[in-house]
Structure 1
Amino acid sequence: MRLYKQTLLAVAVAAASSQAFAAGFQLNAQSATGIGRAFAGDAVIADNAAVMGRNPAAMALFDEPALSLGFETITTKIKVKDAKYCGPTCTLSGGLVPATSVPDTDDVGGTSVAPNIHYIHPINDKFAVGVNAYSNFGTKTEFASDYIANEYGGLTDVLSFNLGVAGSYRLNEQWSFGAGLDLIYGQGTLKRDPSAELSGAIAGLMPDAAGKSLLDVDTADGFAVGFNVGTVFELDENNRFGLSYRYSPEFDAKDDKGQEITLPLPDIAEFSGFHKIEDTKFAVHYSIQYIGWGSFDKISFRNLKDSVLTGSYEKEYQWQDGWHYSIGGTYYLNNDWTLRVGYMYDTSAQDSLTSISVPDSDRQWVSAGFTYHIDSKSNIDLGLTYLMGDDVSVNEKTEIEGVGQVSSVSATTHADAILFGLQYSRSF
């Protein structure tokens, strides 16, 4: 019976904590300019100081100080439909008690705001330095408190903030190199309550745990240190290539109750190209980006308090590396206006293991934006992206040693998003 109690509770928290990995969703919140072209060519275009967030070597392309500051909003629309929840009573009855149909929901997503600022200062014709602050990862999802399969929902609100310092060196007219350090601050809230049926089962098995949340981590935060390196190759003034790599560390966060969460963040590598067509007002640019989601093996919880599960717990995952493929175009209309569009295909981090609480899938990005040049030294950028996900069929079940399957859920999930960015840039 002791094994049954421990395993049932571990399984419940495993399902409940799945959405925590949504904290690892990549935001690409460096600039409104990038949003307007689906981030195609962002590691080498260098049309404002925000490029240092993608490739520190690109700071060598600036011959005067440059500042960019702005914000991005991320609005997610998540649907969970055709769901059926088979709780302990249904599962342990051997099919005599039917699964419960769960009403469709489309109000799971939310809106997050991510600010950004970048400053590049050339020292001479060889060296440049820069500082920046922006967000690389984050998400917000919230299920209604009366959701029937409540342990699969709950609240997740997580955002990381990256404070960076970098330097670049121009070797010659063609090659430049750069490197930087990142101080990463993360903050998040993760709350999961059991469904009414699961609450009854917990009360019967462990009376001392009756009425407690499955998981309640309130505003956990912490710091980690990473680094980034890059290079730029300039074929001529109209054609150049960029390559960059960013190391993202394993991240630890702790709340006021001493509860700790550890999750790895993915490393990122990017290759970009920019080509302005000679004697025209048009340029084409592209990027291939690798995101090392495969390094994410588990989320670790320690010192859990005020919840059903106490002590330590680890949730295993089976994620795969992701890729972004993007292409875009820029049209230099006149001295006042620059127009841009872009398209990205973004592969899912999930493989065979899916979850109702992690609505991830392959995605398509359609983007448009513009720059309005206030004068020769300053401009305003606006970017808009519509991100379209795919339907994903989910079938989850939980099993315990000596008992077999104790619960299951099936559903179809779908996630779309809208990204909006506004930015002011100035050179000095």
Structure 2
Amino acid sequence: MQANKSALSISVLGLLSLMNSERGVAGGLMLYEIATDNAGLANAGAAARAQGPSTIASNPAGLSYLSGTQMTAGAQILFGNLSFDRDGDTNTPGTGSGNVLDPIPGVSFFISHQLDDQWSVGFGSYGDFGLAENYDNDWSGRYFVQNASIAGLSLVPSVAYRFNEQWSVGLGVKAMYGMLKSEAAINQSPLGLTDRADGQYKYKDSDWGYGANVGVIYAPQPGTRIGLAYTSQVDLDFEDGLDINNSGPLVSRLDGTKLGIDLKVPQTATLSLYRQLDAQWAILASVNWQDWSTFGEVEIDVDTNAGGARATTIDANYKDTYQLALGAQYQMNPDLLWDFGVAYDSSAVSDSNRTLTVPMGAAWRFAAGLTYSLNKETDLNFSWVTVWMGDMSIDQTKSLSGSRVSGEFDNAWLQALSANMTWRY
């Protein structure tokens, strides 16, 4: 179990990222909302819409449907409630968790250019993988996690080719910059045998990973598009020395230990439909799959007893997730377009395997958006989404120290508010 790989507790709750990311929980850490109008549709039709340069993130083949040069810039704020309620089986003293979700801002940028009737190119910068959680340092689960974040910023140059009126293909080369930080307390008085204060470990590293976005769009008739998009796995390999603070002889030997954390950002596949019913209404749908079963042993547990300290890796026991999304667009007048969407995501962890560091569960997503045309060249979009995760029970016990935390995240939810503008030249 790689004891010398060492003492880190990655906290993986499903949420957000770095200065360039913004999505809600999507059955895991892969995110759907990235400060684009896709947020108002709950991902419905994402691989088939091709209604702006942000198609780079969902299906690069959509670039072939964009004329001239187009540019989209967006900003978003994500906030919510994720608070852990202890029950009577918790035996570790301390405070409550508080709301571990701080408001998180983010931005995205996309640009596309039509070279000729067949070739189009583009570039996107967005965050589609991440989390952030901030527990109180003295809370009852501090030996499992205190603070943690992981962020993935994707830079994606893309190209698309249109064979004819029916078929288009696209390719994006993805360079993802990942950053990871984690810290948790270390019990230096296991079983209450001494009165030594808690120690703490910290870890911080960054890495580049590479992959690809590929897609195809088939238009059997005007106003109908079927899109299939695939995103390859991206490997992020973090390695740094463990920084132990306030340590006594029980855990001091772990200080400086090299840590190796190999994260596999899952491959995904999305099948989408866009169907224009008439001059006002369009319906959209998506089915999405994410390969979380390959995420692997990414959690590391630091545990202590009177005889010493131990660090072991923990299998995440993740499983693949699926999403079904349905949506509609209503053209109220030539200047005003409404978006609506609802989606369901399965959970990447079963109830028995859910941990404080990975408080994920099934989620319902409810979304709406409004796009206003300022003129023929400029659109302004506002979108809103609520993700409802409900109650998520957790019962964890450390095998050496016997520290136990039991209870549930009660009525967990998050919301994202985004605004973006698109210019056409």
TM-score, normalised to structure 2, is 0.83
Query: Structure 2 counterpart of 1:163, which letter?
Result: L
Distance 1:353 1:393, change over 3 A: same
The equivalences for 1:200-349 within 5 A come to 200-201=189-190, 212-213=199-200, 215-218=201-204, 220-254=205-239, 260-278=260-278, 280-299=279-298, 313-349=312-348
Tell me the secondary structure at the aligned position of residue 353 of structure 2: coil
- Aligned partners of 1:18, 1:217: CA distance in 2, in Å? 9
User: CA contact under 8 A between 1:368 and 1:383: conserved in structure 2?
Assistant: yes
Structure 2 residue corresponding to 1:62, chosen from 63, 66, 84: 66
Give the corresponding residue for 1:37.
41
Give the corresponding residue for 1:77.
81
User: CA contact under 8 A between 1:147 and 1:153: conserved in structure 2?
Assistant: no
For residues 296-329 of structure 1, the C-alpha deviation after alignment (integer angstroms, 9 at most, x for no partner) is 111177xxxxxx979x853311001011111111
User: CA contact under 8 A between 2:203 and 2:241: conserved in structure 1?
Assistant: no
Give the corresponding residue for 1:152.
144
How many corresponding residue pairs? 387
For residues 336-371 of structure 1, the C-alpha deviation after alignment (integer angstroms, 9 at most, x for no partner) is 211111101111111241113322111111101101
Distance 1:283 1:22, change over 3 A: closer
Distance 1:253 1:22, change over 3 A: farther
- Aligned partners of 2:150, 2:309: CA distance in 1, in Å? 22
- Aligned partners of 1:246, 1:347: CA distance in 2, in Å? 19
Query: Structure 2 counterpart of 1:264, which letter?
Result: K
For residues 96-155 of structure 1, the C-alpha deviation after alignment (integer angstroms, 9 at most, x for no partner) is xxx357665441112222211111111111111111110011111111112123113301
Give the corresponding residue for 1:119.
111
For residues 39-65 of structure 1, the C-alpha deviation after alignment (integer angstroms, 9 at most, x for no partner) is 111111122110111101111111221
Give the corresponding residue for 1:305.
none
User: CA contact under 8 A between 1:29 and 1:114: conserved in structure 2?
Assistant: no
For residues 386-425 of structure 1, the C-alpha deviation after alignment (integer angstroms, 9 at most, x for no partner) is 110021222223336xxxx834321112421111111110
Distance 1:300 1:344, change over 3 A: closer
User: CA contact under 8 A between 1:223 and 1:253: conserved in structure 2?
Assistant: no
Query: Structure 1 counterpart of 2:45, which letter?
Result: G
User: CA contact under 8 A between 2:191 and 2:402: conserved in structure 1?
Assistant: no
User: CA contact under 8 A between 2:299 and 2:316: conserved in structure 1?
Assistant: no
Distance 1:203 1:265, change over 3 A: farther
1:193 is aligned to 2:197: no
User: CA contact under 8 A between 2:55 and 2:62: conserved in structure 1?
Assistant: yes
- Aligned partners of 1:420, 1:21: CA distance in 2, in Å? 20
Tell me the secondary structure at the aligned position of residue 375 of structure 2: coil
Give the corresponding residue for 1:406.
402
Tell me the secondary structure at the aligned position of residue 172 of structure 1: coil
- Aligned partners of 1:155, 1:237: CA distance in 2, in Å? 51
User: CA contact under 8 A between 2:11 and 2:149: conserved in structure 1?
Assistant: no
For residues 172-191 of structure 1, the C-alpha deviation after alignment (integer angstroms, 9 at most, x for no partner) is 21011111210000123211
Aligned-pair CA distance for 1:27: 2.3
RMSD over equivalenced CA pairs, Å: 2.8
Tell me the secondary structure at the aligned position of residue 19 of structure 1: coil
Tell me the secondary structure at the aligned position of residue 11 of structure 2: helix
Distance 1:343 1:142, change over 3 A: same
Give the corresponding residue for 1:354.
354
TM-score, normalised to structure 1, is 0.83
- Aligned partners of 1:238, 1:426: CA distance in 2, in Å? 23
Give the corresponding residue for 2:393.
393
1:50 is aligned to 2:50: no
Tell me the secondary structure at the aligned position of residue 54 of structure 2: helix
Q: Sequence identity of aligned pairs in percent?
A: 20
Distance 1:159 1:47, change over 3 A: same
Aligned-pair CA distance for 1:260: 4.5
Distance 1:164 1:41, change over 3 A: same
- Aligned partners of 1:347, 1:383: CA distance in 2, in Å? 23
User: CA contact under 8 A between 1:130 and 1:165: conserved in structure 2?
Assistant: yes
Distance 1:342 1:77, change over 3 A: same
Structure 1 ranges of 4+ moved more than 6 A: 202-205
Q: Which moved more, 1:45-54 or 1:388-397?
A: 388-397
Tell me the secondary structure at the aligned position of residue 49 of structure 1: coil
- Aligned partners of 1:20, 1:366: CA distance in 2, in Å? 23
User: CA contact under 8 A between 2:386 and 2:416: conserved in structure 1?
Assistant: yes
Aligned-pair CA distance for 1:212: 3.2
User: CA contact under 8 A between 1:18 and 1:355: conserved in structure 2?
Assistant: no
Tell me the secondary structure at the aligned position of residue 418 of structure 2: strand
User: CA contact under 8 A between 2:51 and 2:66: conserved in structure 1?
Assistant: no
User: CA contact under 8 A between 1:356 and 1:411: conserved in structure 2?
Assistant: no
User: CA contact under 8 A between 1:67 and 1:425: conserved in structure 2?
Assistant: yes
User: CA contact under 8 A between 1:29 and 1:134: conserved in structure 2?
Assistant: no
User: CA contact under 8 A between 1:233 and 1:241: conserved in structure 2?
Assistant: yes
